Every structure is written in structure tokens, then in C-alpha cells.
Structure 1
Amino acid sequence: MVFVGTPAAPATAAPKPAPGDEGGTKSLRDALEAAARGHLEAKAKLEASQKRQGELTAELQRLEARLTVLSAEVGVVAAESYRVGRLSAMSMLLNSGSPESFLDRVAGLDLMAQRDSRRLGTLLATREQATRAKAAIDNEVKEQGRQLAVLAKRKQDAERALATVGGGAAGGFISANSPLAKPAPRNSDGSWPKESCTIDDPTTDGCITPRTLHAYNEARAAGFKRYTACKRSGGDGEHPKGRACDFSAAAGGFEDKSATGGDRTYGNNLAAFLVKNASRLGVMYVIWYRQIWMPSTGWRAYSGAGSPAADHTNHVHLSML
């Protein structure tokens, strides 16, 4: 990938995109958010279940190897008992030369019985553990089936919502050469922590979420330093919540015309960077040049009201979870 353009200071009078452009109507934005969040939650649960299944499978393999050893040991004990039989107290007394030797034999046989009992108990306990591990693996397989069904439904929900603004398959903006971003913090179960608008927005006098700031900083670290505006007061969507940023394609700020040449290449590269790092950054969706990317659908056609702001041909829009 070739990054086009050099860092530029924010334009002092750069016009903002028209309010409400970030994802069409409010109903569309709500549908897109629900579909994206549902998809990512199901994906996190699926991956957690797959991880648990892997751990359970490894544990089951260990238990089965242990069972093989224990079964062999118990088999030897059983064969020996069958060959010589168990001595009764009377036979031990008759074959003992003295009371002392009798007591010695009783003690020895008692130790053998305890040893054999422990082996048998360990074998039975290990078998029970293996049975529980197999049942747990079956449960994880069922859980994965449920989450796959949720993923399929969320994809349908997203495609249904996007049908109102185009929604057809699109080539999109993808590059294997896009740099990797540093991952944003997640919860221990892999889900995204809930965040509010608590961090000063470096692009406006408002606030944004910590995850949005992380994505903004990672984009700049990757070379995308042109004019950007995140927090927007009023209206709905993600901007007022501090969970969205608009990245100007032009070095001087948002222009009332579609990006061409190097400006369009800059937008292509930025969109590709955000998509490649979506799971690292917590991206909900990206809109650029009449196309929208969501984790459940990939790139799809998107048409706004026909203006550069509404069609996102002069800026890359980023919405965060």
C-alpha cells in the first residue's frame, strides 16, 4: 500500500458534512447498530466456546491416556487375584508358623488391599471425569451451533437494512499491505467493555469514548493525519455519542466535491486500514465512496442523498462499538 499525502494541520474553516449523513435515516442507523452489535457479540461467544472446546478436548485426551495406564494396572491386579485367590483368615492362620508371622501376613495383605482399592478408585474417578468432559464438549458444540445461527440471522438483518440504500455486493477497499493496529482493551471473555463519552476529543471541543480515541490515534500512527472531526453535538447516530469520526479525504478539510486522484487513494487506504483492523479496534461499520463495510456482510453498495457528504465520497466515516 502507498499512503498518499502528507500530514496537514486541521483547516480552521473546514465545512462539516451535513448532519445525519453517517448512516442514512435514524431507523437505518439503529438497524445497522443492532445487527453489528449482535454479530460481534455472537462471534465473541462463538470464539469463547471454541476455545473452551479446545481446552476440554485436551483435557479429555489427557484423561483417556491416564485411563489406559490405570486400566492396565487394575487388569494386572485382577489377573493376579484370579490366579492366586484371596487368602482367608483361617488359611493365613493355618499357614503361619507363629502368631507374629500371622500378623505380619495380615498387615501385608491389608496394604495390598488398600493399594488395589486406591487404583480401582482412581480408575473409576478418572472415568467419571472423562464422561463429564465429553458431555461438556457436546454442550460447547451445541452452543456453537446456536451462535452460528445468530450470526446468520444478524447477517440477514444487516442485508435487509442495507437494501434500502443499495446493499448489493461491492468490491470494497481491502489491502493485504495495511499495517496492523494495536488492539484496544477487551473484557476477559473477549467482549467489548461498555464505554461512554469520557475522553477529550482531540478534533473538537467535545468528548469521545476511549475506544474511539484509540482508533483515531492508531489511524494517525499509520499515517492518516488529514483533517478529522469526531464529536458532533445534536442529532442522533454515533457522532453525538462520541463513537464516530469523519476523516477528510482532502488534506485541507472536507470539500463539497467527491475525492479524486491522490485524495481518493488516501480514502481507499484509510478504509482498508480500518477494515483490516476492525476486530482489533472495535469497528462497528465504515462508509466510504458509496460503499459500507460491516463485520457481518463485508463491503456493500451504499447510496445517500447524492451529495459528497451523504454519499461519503469526500470523507471516510467510522462508527465504533
Structure 2
Amino acid sequence: MILGAPAVAAPSDPEGGSKKLRAALDSAAKGYDQAKNKLAASKKRQKQLATTISTSEASAKALTAQVNAVANRSYQMGRISTVTLLLNSASPDDFIGKVQSLDVLAQMDSSTLAQYQRDIDAAKQAQTALTAEIAEQKRQVNVMARKKREAELALAEVGGGSAGGFVSVDSPAAKPAPRNSDGSWPRESCTVNDPTSGGCITPRTLHAYEEARSDGFKRYTECWSQRSSGEHPKGRACDFSSAVGTFKNAAATGEDKAYGDRLASYFVKNADKLGVMYVIWYRQIWMPSSGWRAYSGSGGPSAAHTNHVHLSML
């Protein structure tokens, strides 16, 4: 594990953008991710509700014949009284036997009707909830579209047009970072030691860093650093040098460029598993909502991100 400060030009602050831009991207990315998680949760509930409706309706249908029989018996026997039973009984024992039979029948009828009503109620309630979930999904789709637009408008400041990007089907698969039971990301702060500096990073950022290293991306990296804005001072970002040893004050070429391409592709492929907010590499930025877009940061290799891959985490 390589520690310490770089010997040459470390990425400067700002990294080819403004404080306003980074705040806008942060807001858009988090809003998009939250809406996406809510949409997924709603679809899951929709599936469960559909199963409840199907099961309840099938049960009610199966009880229909029994309910009809109960109705017929109630009509036929509704006028039978204790006096009638006594008059029509040959003996007290016969009377008691008839009363007991009617009591058992009444209990059976009551149980059947109660279950039938429960099935009908369950189906109605599930249908109402299902309608609400469909409306919720429409809301979240609209939120995702709005957040996507917000990100694109913010990126217009630094180019922002669609770009070819860096994607590889051969990228290794990272191990997923822990999520909450509802699929959302846990709120994290700068609480664990940063192995690349004397600062701190979030547990999720550490997980992404360690996964990248375990999958072969072991060149010089700097995560936490004291800057005026952005994710680095919050422990939610890392800069991965494309060169061996340290950051170079020159755009990557040859094998260094290929290494950066592979690393950027790796984080894109595993974005949902790791909790990636965005990736910047070689004048392009990737966000879950927009894919790869142009990012023409002004300045040297650090600002243009041609000498390192920048990773920001949710």
C-alpha cells in the first residue's frame, strides 16, 4: 500500500470546475439515486401486492360455493325457533341433538363467511395500495428525469455534451458495499482512517478503494485532502494516478492512458454495487443519470483529469 504525498503535481483545487458545479452535481446525483431506490422499492411492493390480490381473489372464489350454501341454509332455516324444535322433537335427547347440530352448523357458517369477508377486504385493500404504488412510481420517474436534467444543465458549464466514454464488459465485478434493508445507502461521515493520507474517509469510500486494489488497480492514490470544496475533504472522493508511483504533470499516454481507461470502466460497471456518485477521466464525466458527458476542465492535466481518475462517492 503506497502512502504519503505525491512527489510531483497533485490534483489541484478546483478540479476543472467550480464549487457551484460540484454542489449541483452532488444534489443531482443524490436526488437521482434516492428516486431510483424509491422506484425499485415501489416496484417490489407492487409485485407483493399483486400476489396478495391474486391469492385473496382465488380464496374468495373458492369459498363462493360455500357462501351460497350458507345463504340458502339461512333462508331455509331462518324461522326455526327453540319452540319449533321442541314441538318437533320426539324426546329431550332428540331436541338437544338438534340444537347441537344447529350450533355446529352456525359456527361453520360463521367461519366461512368471516374468511370470505377477509379475502374480499384484503383484495380491496391491496388494490388500493397497488394504485398508490403506481402513482408513486410515476412521481419517482419524474424526479429522476428532473435530476438528470439538473446534472446536464450544470455540466453545460464545462462542456456537457454526450461523449463516447469508457466502458468495458471485461471489467472485474466488485463486492457490493452494505446497503440499508430498503435498498438505500447508509448515511456515512468521515469516520475511518484513510490509508492514502493522514486524513479520514467514509466506510463506503474505503470499500471502493480496497475493491479497486484487490482487482489490480494499485497505482498511487490520494483520497482525503484539505480543499475548499468538493468531496475530498468529506472523505468521499479519491484520485487514482494513471502513472506508476505518483501523479504526473502531463496527460497520460500509452499504458498509463490504458490503465486509466480500465479503472474508469471498472468504477462505471460497479457503480451500483459501490455507491459511485460520479467518475471523471480524460475530459469526461460519468454519472448514473446521464452516462458519459464531456468535461472540459480548464487548466493543466489535474484540472482536465488526464493524469488521474477521479471518483466521488454517494
Q: Mark yes or no: TM-score above 0.5.
A: yes
1:117 positional shift: 1.7
Q: What's the counterpart of residue 311 of structure 2?
A: 318
SS of the equivalent of 2:233 reads coil
1:234 positional shift: 3.0
1:243 positional shift: 0.8
SS of the equivalent of 2:118 reads helix
Separation in 2 of the partners of 1:177 and 1:14?
32
Separation in 2 of the partners of 1:39 and 1:163?
18
1:298 positional shift: 0.7
Corresponding residue to 2:90 among 78, 90, 97: 97
SS of the equivalent of 2:100 reads helix
Distance 1:172 1:86, change over 3 A: farther
1:16 aligns with 2:23: no
Alpha carbons 2:8, 2:249 under 8 Å: kept: no
Corresponding residue to 2:108 among 115, 126, 130: 115
Residue 300 of structure 1 aligns to which amino acid in structure 2? R
- Moved runs in structure 1, 4+ residues, more than 6 A? 7-11
Q: What's the counterpart of residue 163 of structure 1?
A: 156
Show structure 1 runs of 5+ residues with no match.
Answer: 1-6
Show structure 2 runs of 5+ residues with no match.
Answer: none
Q: What's the counterpart of residue 286 of structure 2?
A: 293
Residues 68-126 of structure 1 deviation map (CA, whole Å, 9 limit, x = unaligned): 12222212333455677764444433332112211211221121112112211221122
Corresponding residue to 1:206 among 177, 181, 199: 199
1:12 positional shift: 5.7
Q: What's the counterpart of residue 39 of structure 1?
A: 32
Residue 150 of structure 2 aligns to which amino acid in structure 1? D
SS of the equivalent of 1:146 reads helix
1:248 aligns with 2:234: no
1:308 aligns with 2:288: no
1:202 positional shift: 0.9
Aligned Cα root-mean-square deviation (Å): 1.9
1:301 positional shift: 0.7
Aligned length: 314
SS of the equivalent of 1:246 reads strand
Separation in 2 of the partners of 1:231 and 1:256?
20
Residue 14 of structure 2 aligns to which amino acid in structure 1? G
Residue 224 of structure 1 aligns to which amino acid in structure 2? F
Residues 243-286 of structure 1 deviation map (CA, whole Å, 9 limit, x = unaligned): 11000111132111111111111111100110111111111110
SS of the equivalent of 1:76 reads helix
Residues 206-255 of structure 1 deviation map (CA, whole Å, 9 limit, x = unaligned): 11111111100000011100011111113211111111100011113211
Residue 319 of structure 1 aligns to which amino acid in structure 2? S
Alpha carbons 1:257, 1:314 under 8 Å: kept: yes
Residue 258 of structure 2 aligns to which amino acid in structure 1? T
Distance 1:240 1:11, change over 3 A: closer
Which shows bigger deviation, 38-47 or 59-68? Answer: 59-68
